[in-house]
Amino acid sequence: MKMKSFKSKILLAGVIFMLAGAAVGLVGFGMTGFEPNNLLKWSENRWYQTIHYERGNFHIGIKLRDGFYITNFGSF
């Protein structure tokens, strides 16, 4: 009886982890504006890019869109 209960808990945990991973991936893709070109290796304005050097200003942070950043350090 205990083994059956353990297996069902493991199966439930696996499904929860799969759904959480899919949600994180969807949120990450949503942060790109649902534009696959933003995920290219040499693309500009990648959502996950943290180090920026634009117009002579250096700053560290995640750029969501123009004027909106998370965890900024540096000057703009």
Together in a domain, 23 and 57: no
Whole-number Å distance between alpha carbons of 39 and 60: 19
Together in a domain, 49 and 67: yes
- Is the pTM higher than 0.85? The answer reads no
Together in a domain, 43 and 27: no
**How does pLDDT run along the chain (76 residues), one tens digit per residue?**
588 899 999 999 999 999 998 888 778 777 767 766 665 555 555 555 666 666 666 666 676 666 676 765 555 4
Instruction: Answer for the pair 61, 71: CB distance below 8 angstroms, yes or no.
Output: yes
Together in a domain, 41 and 67: yes
Together in a domain, 74 and 61: yes
- Residue 59 domain boundaries: 36-76
pLDDT of residue 21: 84
Together in a domain, 44 and 18: no
pLDDT of residue 43: 53
DSSP the chain: -HHHHHHHHHHHHHHHHHHHHHHHHHHHHHHTTS-GGGGSTT-SS-TT--EEEETTEEEEEEEEETTEEEEEEE--
Together in a domain, 26 and 43: no
